[in-house]
Amino acid sequence: MTDRHVFEYALLRVVPRVERGECINAGVLVYCRAKAFVGARTHLDEARLLALDPAVDVAGVRAALGAVENVCAGGEPAGQAARDDAGRRFRWLIAPRSTIVQPGPVHTGLTADPAAEADRLLELLVR
């Protein structure tokens, strides 16, 4: 039997007009301490986003989602966060914020493969 490890995940939501409270799911963050893994998978449904706010800055939303992916990946594109371990990067990304891209609540589960889990959750909860 394959070893399974606890992981945490949070949805990334796009809230184009905070005052209306409407959002679409646009990604998922996954963290598994045992595997020192933090990863993001994103998918932006532009038609759904534009239905909520026809004036939304789609390029800006894409840039924000890309920045989350960069922080998860680490290395030079992550900027200052590159020096942090996977757990610190995940905690920073799930911190509440009032920007257009916001993390949802954190949930937990068990997985043998956190990268595959990120792909599965993207298909299940975002696409």
Place 61 in a pLDDT band, splitting at 50, 70 and 90: very high
With a cut of 80, say whether residue 79 has pLDDT above it: no
The secondary structure of 17-66 as a DSSP string is: -GGGT--EEEEEEEEEGGGTEEEEEE---HHHHHHH-TT--HHHHHHHHH
- Whole-angstrom Cα distance, residue 103 to residue 99? 10
Q: Which pLDDT score, from 0 to 100, does residue 116 have?
A: 97
Whole-number mean pLDDT of the chain? Answer: 91
Comparison of pLDDT for 85 and 48, the residue scoring more? 48
pTM over 0.85: yes
With a cut of 90, say whether residue 28 has pLDDT above it: yes
Residues 9-25: tens digit of each pLDDT: 999 999 998 888 899 99
Q: Summarize the chain as % helix, strand, coil (round to 5).
A: 45, 30, 25
Tokens of 94: 């799930």
Is residue 5 within 8 A of residue 111, CB to CB? The reply is yes
- Whole-angstrom Cα distance, residue 43 to residue 106? 19
Of 100, 45, 90, the C-alpha closest to 68 is 90
- Whole-angstrom Cα distance, residue 84 to residue 31? 14
